[in-house]
Structure 1
């Protein structure tokens, strides 16, 4: 490797991977998935040297193992069961599950295949590695890091004392930027600085999705479920009608966690279809819902009205916003919704990779489960990813039929 090792602990992982991982371990151990990398930036190219470095960094990541201290930390998380921690004691990433080549329009192609238990865990470290390799090798990293620190200082000032007429109030917020961070150094600096501030009652930094940093800085590790959970549970069984993916996913989640760890993701196959299954039982058991695509104001009002129709006080539920947020947008959403419901924010790239150059728009998504295509049909066109357009059309037809027939 030409760079220092980027991932140095298996806790450098988003918390929702462990939340989903436990449920996968107990309920879906035989599921197999394929994951595919995609760079949405049209002006980005990875050189062969970068691809070689990414390959070696992933190889180094695959040599890591959980330490006893790390496992003790996970075991202390309220909803994590000891049986899953014992599994992690034996678990290790497998480099043989990766295929890394120079194919593709951006000069980099990554695909992973294997058990869902394994491949689910690869997404976040892989994206973190790709980001850091790119920014360290394509730019003068020291200059980028200086611009990152300057912008971080401005953000902190806007949240605390205010300056130049800019002052934000956003309530509870978490850092969600591991997958798209500039570097491990940058993300840790941001988390450290944000955790040390006095927000004078206007905002509260509640934690980070990065479990390693949560442990290091005594913060809450934050994260429930991702789209993969709904896609694989709902679409990975050929007996399931994929328009009912949310029901299957929520049913399995409640079997695992009951009323704990319950923020439901609404937009895997559109929020309108989600609401068909988010009826009284699940709306009561889940403590709130997460927004990740579409107009957040329209979505929030829709969720509030849905809770009211069910006879549930929206003020008792959390609206968690996590789609491409900055502090200005969060301030607007908080002002609009804070007197109607509990409001929280998961803020990623804006905190972990805001520099003088644009951040990468890269993803690694589940494209197959048990040999079958899976897809996401979000509330924002273009956010989905599926290798088979015929399956996307089939899924859309299933959703449309259900919506028209009110089933």
Structure 2
């Protein structure tokens, strides 16, 4: 499936939508912020990733030669939440190679992006799918394409059969998004997955986070915010206790009702809900789950809306943590009729092959010269390099998962 001769990044538009939305918001609110991102592989690869160093360097050199094409800028300008001055910024934007460094430390591949947040925050997704595709190019290809297609066909067939036997409520349909860009097997395979979903299950498949593929296939580009957006506000001069409220307020002021799904697990769901008062609960359309027990999380969300006097059926829960289609359907059935739901599925769609997927991330570790952290609702997802700051953050938000 991978094309081993062409550069991996073919377009600067091939990024997740939430990178563009966060990019715009932070460029407007904190244009001088400086940030640091670090690459981490959480599982054991088939060979040391340090062996990819030279290839990663070459791909990053190519990435930094690209600019946005006029048709890509026109597409972004057609999204009503993208502002004209941001499109003007993108029209002259080019990634700067000096802001990203690649090192081999023994068998470990180290990648660090450090510089103005407006220049480094959008490197993350490119780095991840560059490493992924380079890695899988080196693994045996015999039978991979056939197996991947068979698995995808079985998933779509299973979805349609389940919904045929147990039809979805027309008022609360089963809605699926493709969120697999960062850990895809290859660009060609993700393209095939998205095209096949759009053709085979249009009543359920509503879009992709990959903006390039959304443009190419005429489907909706999906996404709002990621952890880094809220984490950055830990360094913007607000009292630490108030950073979530400041970040949510910044989002409201930037998008004025668009992109109304808030991410909840930067310091845990309980701490989030303490800040998500009636004002925010009315302004935001819903919440996104990314760690911890999804049923517990969803029940907390429904109870919170009810306690505020808000009808939960007017709101939406977006689930996006390690999902596959059967798990998404189970969650849909659990909450059906009580609140609207949708499901973002990533690796299980874009990288379900006979080869084990890499669990790689590239996360913000510092902003404006100070550490930032995420206190996930799942212990393995907590990220911070500064133990003192992490302990302080836990104390402030009473989070000890």
- TM-score class, shorter-chain normalisation, is over 0.9
Q: Which moves more between the two structures, 69-78 or 146-155?
A: 146-155
CA displacement 1:92-117 (0-9 Å, x = unmatched): 1111111101116x520000001111
Which consecutive segments of 4 or more residues in structure 1 shift more than 4 A? 165-170
**1:296 corresponding residue in structure 2:** 294
| Paired position in structure 2 for 1:175 | 178
After superposition, the C-alpha distances for 1:368-387 in whole angstroms (9 at most, x for unaligned) are: 00000000001000102211
Q: In the TM superposition, what whole-angstrom CA distance separates every residue of 1:337-375 from its partner, at most 9, and x where no partner exists? A: 121011101110011000112210000000000000000
Question: Helix, strand or coil for the counterpart of 1:223?
Answer: coil
Secondary structure of the residue aligned to 1:36 is: strand
d(CA) in 2 for partners of 1:3, 1:18: 29
Note the residue ranges of structure 1 that are not aligned, 5 or more in a row.
none
Q: Distance in 2 between matches of 1:211 and 1:111?
A: 25
**1:19 aligned partner:** 21
1:70-219 to 2 correspondences below 5 Å: 70-103=72-105, 106-137=107-138, 139-161=139-161, 171-198=174-201, 204-219=204-219
Give TM-score scaled by structure 2 length.
0.94
Q: Contact between 2:285 and 2:315, CA under 8 Å: does it hold in 1? A: yes
Give 3-state SS (helix, strand or coil) of 1:323's partner: coil
The separation in 2 between residues aligned to 1:74 and 1:46, in whole angstroms, is 38
- Report the Cα distance in structure 2 between the residues aligned to 1:166 and 1:351, rounded to whole angstroms: 23
Alignment of 1:21-36 (within 5 A): 21-36=23-38
Aligned partner of residue 108 in structure 1, secondary structure: strand
* Pair 48,360 (structure 1): closer, same or farther in 2 beyond 3 Å: closer
**Is it true that 1:313 corresponds to 2:311 in the alignment?**
yes
Contact 2:318 2:344 in 1 (8 A): yes
Worse overlay, 2-11 or 12-21: 2-11
Aligned 8 A contact 2:178 2:345 in 1: yes
Distance change (3 Å), C-alpha of 1:282 and 1:48: closer
Considering only aligned residues, what root-mean-square deviation do their CA atoms show, in Å?
A: 2.0
- What is the aligned partner in structure 2 of residue 236 from structure 1? 235
Assess if the C-alpha contact under 8 Å between 1:102 and 1:108 holds in 2. Answer: yes
Deviation at 1:118, TM superposition (A): 1.1
Q: Which runs of 5+ in 2 are unaligned?
A: none
How far residue 59 of structure 1 moved from its aligned partner, in angstroms, is 1.2
- Partner Cα separation in structure 1 for residue 288 and residue 103 of structure 2: 35
Give the direction of change, closer, same or farther, for the CA distance of 1:131–1:366 in structure 2 (3 Å limit). same
- In the alignment, what sits opposite 1:278? 276
SS at match of 1:109: strand
Question: CA 1:268–1:370 in 2, change beyond 3 Å: closer, same or farther?
Answer: same
Note the 1:40-59 alignment, pairs <5 A.
Answer: 40-46=42-48, 48-59=50-61
Which SS does the other structure have where 2:26 is aligned? helix
Summarize deviations over 1:6-47 as a string: whole Å, max 9, x none. 110001000001111111111110000000000001355435
Aligned pair count reads: 394
Do the aligned residues in 1 keep the contact of 2:45 with 2:358 (CA within 8 Å)?
Answer: no
**In structure 2, the residue corresponding to 1:24 is in which secondary structure?**
helix
